[in-house]
Amino acid sequence: MLSLSEMLLPLLGVALVIGPIWLLFRKGINSHNAKSRIIAQISIFAGVFMLTMLVEASHFTTLAEEAAANAGSAQSMGFLAAALAVAASSLGAAWAVASAAPAAIGAISENGDNFGKAIIFVALGEGIAIYGLLISILIINKL
């Protein structure tokens, strides 16, 4: 069962991150306060993230030690292969979309009839990430 601190700390973190956003939209945005409020929001988010990482660091090390003790070398390599499949395919998809999307937007802005032809190249780039995810799922199912 979760302790009281394990239940309240995430709620406190969510309140600290969402609270300033609620105040921002309630009072409205103008040119004088927008930059300072965005910087404050990013600072609060970074602080909550770091606090969470510090509080949960002992749990992470415990889980890592248990996984290292229970896993064999082949299983470790399988998890590493699954992670590399997702990472490499995501990077490839990001590169493909980053190069195809501006060209697609330019083609659509010149002629609206080119939407169907242009969006195919962006969708093909996104398909690379999905293929990597499927390969990683197949690898993990074999472990």
Same domain assignment for residues 61 and 77: no
When divided into structural domains, the chain yields a total of 2
The Cα diameter of the chain in Å comes to 60
pLDDT band at 63 (very low <50, low <70, confident <90, very high): low
Same domain assignment for residues 80 and 58: no
Where is the domain boundary, 67, 87, 110?
67
Helix H segments across 1-143? 4-27, 34-70, 73-110, 115-142
pLDDT in tens, 87-131: 999 999 989 888 888 888 888 888 888 888 888 888 888 888 999
pLDDT in tens, 3-35: 777 777 777 777 777 777 776 677 666 777 777
pLDDT band at 2 (very low <50, low <70, confident <90, very high): low
Q: Is residue 32 classed as helix, strand or coil in its secondary structure? A: coil
Give me Rg for the CA atoms of the chain: 22
Cα separation, 107 vs 97, whole angstroms:
15
71 torsion bin: left (phi>0), alpha (psi -120 to 50), beta (else): beta
Q: CATH number for the domain including 87?
A: 1.20.20.10
Cα separation, 9 vs 48, whole angstroms:
10
Give the H/E segment covering residue 2.
none
pTM: 0.51
Cα separation, 4 vs 11, whole angstroms:
11
Same domain assignment for residues 55 and 97: no
Same domain assignment for residues 84 and 126: yes
Where is the domain boundary, 17, 42, 67?
67
Average pLDDT of 74-99? Answer: 88
Q: Please tell me which residue, 50 or 58, carries the higher pLDDT value.
A: 50
Q: Tokens 């600290």: give the residue.
A: 16
The token duo for 81 is 């292969």
Q: Which domain holds residue 38?
A: 1-67
Where is the domain boundary, 49, 67, 85?
67
